[in-house]
Structure 1
Amino acid sequence: MFEIQVYGDRGLRITLGDSISKETNDRIRSFSSLLEDENIKGVIEWIPTYTSISIFYDPALISYDSLRERMNSLYENISLIDVPPADVITIPVCYSKEYGPDLTNVSKHNQLTEEEVIKIHTEPDYLIYMMGFSPGFPYLGGMSEKIATPRLSSPRAKIEAGSVGIAGSQTGIYPLESPGGWQIIGRTPLKLYNPKSDHPILLRSGNYIRFTPVTEEEYQTIENAVLMGTYKPKRELFKGGEKG
C-alpha cells in the first residue's frame, strides 16, 4: 500500500499500510531511511506513526507537487532498502508497592499472582511502533493478553515520571509527570525525556525495549547514577526474540 495525501498547507502524509503490524513498521522504517539518505532540500522533518509518515516541508523551498514526485520516486526504491537494524534498550523497573500501586489490581483482574504479572510483563521484547502523546512516550506492541487490564475508572491527577502502566492490552511508560488513568505496576528511574541532554529522547521508533525487574535498593542506585549523568542504559542489537 502506498498513498499520498495533503496534510495541511505545509505537509503531506504517506500511508504505507492499513494495519498495525511489524511488516508495516518495517516499511515505514525503510522509507524513513530513504528520506534520511535523500536529505531533500525544503523537508523540515518527518514523523513516523503506526501506518504512515507525516512529512513537513517549507513551500518556499519545495512545492507540494515537486515533493510528491520525489516521494513517488523514492517509493520505487523501497524494496532495495534493507530494514535498518533495531536495538533493544533495557528498562529497569521496580515493581514494589510504592512504585506499582496498581499491581494488585492487575493481578486480581487476571487471576494471577503479582509475581506472575511481573514475569509475564518482563518476558517479551516490546516493539516501539511510534513516539507521541508527550515527549518521549513510546507506543509499544507485544504485551500479553494475560495481563490486559482496563484503565482506572477514575484517573489520577498526578502520575510520576517513569511510571510503567497497563491500559487495556497496551503497556507504556510515562516520560513526564502528568494526569492519567493507566494501571501503574512499576516505575523506572531512567529519564525518557531529558531536555538538558544532547539527545533528549531516550527511545526511538523501530527499536525495542526490554523491561527488567530491580529492587528498591537497585532503583535508588540507578536513579542516583542517572542524576549524576553516569548511567548508561544497556543497549544491544535485536536478535529476533533471543535475549542476551
Structure 2
Amino acid sequence: MAFSTIKDSITFHPLGDAAIVIQAGADIREEIHERVKQLFTCIEQHPFDGFVEAVQAFTNVTVFYEPYTVHQAAHLQTHNLSPYEWVKGYIEGLLEEKWQGGGQVKRRIVDIPVCYGGALGPDLEEVARINGLTSEEVVRIHTKGTYLVYMIGFAPGFPFLGGLTEKIAAPRRETPRMSIPKGSVGIAGKQTGVYPISTPGGWQLIGQTPLPLFRPNENVPSLLRAGDEVRFVQMSEKEFFSMKEAER
C-alpha cells in the first residue's frame, strides 16, 4: 500500500512544545495497529537531529524531540518555522519517501505459562459466573486464543492485549485492589493482560505466571513488545512454584 493511499487518514498535532502526535486512525483494530507499527518503525530507523524517542499507542505514535537542538540543526532562524512545523514536515517527507506499508509483518510469538484459579487466580470463578461458564471452560477458552500486543503501558512492561473473545469478557472490579501480585493475569472488558510488577489495579485476576515480563537489568527491559503475539499455556501449581523458584 502506497503512503498516498492512506495520507488523508493520518493527522498530526503538537503535544506541548517538545512532541508531536501522529494519529493513524480512531479504532482499536489490527489494521490500525499495523499502520502504527509501520509509522513507528519508519521514524525509528530514520531519526533526525534532536530526536529523543518514539512511543507507540493503540492508534498513534508520539515523537518526542529537543526543541533547541531541532531549532539549531535545521537552521530554523532563517526559515520562520517552529520546531514543531519542521518536525512535522520532516516526518511527512520521510513517509512519502520511505513508507513500506502493506507488506507482511512478521510477528514474534511468545508463550506465557499460567497457573489458573485458586489463590493465584482469585477472580476466575467470578469471570465464569458472569459468563455462565465453568472455571474449566474459562481456562480452556483463554488458552485457546492468540492475543496481539497493541501497546506497552500503564506499568513497565504491561502488555495491552487484543483478541479476547466476548465469551469470557468481564468488567473491571467495582473496588480495585491496592496491591496485585507480579505476574497476575487479568481480564478487563474485552482485554486481557499481565501485571509485570506489583501495583494497584482493578482487573479480574484469573491466574498468575512465574515468567518475568519486566526485566530492568536487561538491554530491552520488557519481555513483550508491540506487535508480538501471545499465547497462554496452562501449568500446574507445582510447575508454577518450581519455575518461580528457578527464576530467582
TM-score over 0.5 (shorter chain): yes
Shift, 1:21, TM fit? 1.0
Between 1:74-83 and 1:93-102, the stretch displaced more is: 74-83
Residues in 1 aligned to 2:16 and 2:212: alpha-carbon distance in whole angstroms: 33
Shift, 1:83, TM fit? 5.2
Residues in 2 aligned to 1:167 and 1:88: alpha-carbon distance in whole angstroms: 22
Is the CA contact 2:10–2:25 (under 8 Å) kept in the aligned structure 1? yes
Between 1:29-38 and 1:204-213, the stretch displaced more is: 29-38
**What amino acid maps onto 1:182 in structure 2?**
W
Summarize the alignment of residues 115-134 of structure 1 with structure 2, pairs less than 5 Å apart. Answer: 115-134=136-155
Is the CA contact 2:33–2:59 (under 8 Å) kept in the aligned structure 1? yes
**TM, length-normalised to structure 1:** 0.88
Q: Is residue 73 from structure 1 mapped to residue 93 from structure 2 by the alignment?
A: yes
Q: Is residue 165 from structure 1 mapped to residue 203 from structure 2 by the alignment?
A: no
Shift, 1:68, TM fit? 1.0
Task: Answer with 1 or 2: which has the greater Rg.
Answer: 2
Summarize the alignment of residues 1-244 of structure 1 with structure 2, pairs less than 5 Å apart. Answer: 1-62=9-70, 63-77=83-97, 79-81=99-101, 82=103, 84-227=105-248
Instruction: Give the secondary-structure state (helix, strand or coil) at the position aligned to 1:74.
Output: helix
Is the CA contact 1:93–1:212 (under 8 Å) kept in the aligned structure 2? yes
- Provide closer, same or farther for how the CA distance between residues 46 and 78 of structure 1 changes in structure 2, counting only shifts above 3 A: same
**What amino acid maps onto 1:152 in structure 2?**
R
Deviations 1:32-59 (A, max 9, x none): 1111221322110011111110000011
Unaligned 5+ runs, structure 2: 1-8, 71-82
Instruction: Give the secondary-structure state (helix, strand or coil) at the position aligned to 2:34.
Output: helix
Correspondence for 2:77: none
Is the CA contact 1:30–1:78 (under 8 Å) kept in the aligned structure 2? no
Q: Which has the higher helix share?
A: 2
**What amino acid maps onto 2:167 in structure 1?**
K
Is the CA contact 1:163–1:186 (under 8 Å) kept in the aligned structure 2? yes
Q: How many residues align?
A: 227
Shift, 1:106, TM fit? 0.9
**What amino acid maps onto 2:158 in structure 1?**
F
- RMSD of aligned C-alpha atoms? 1.4
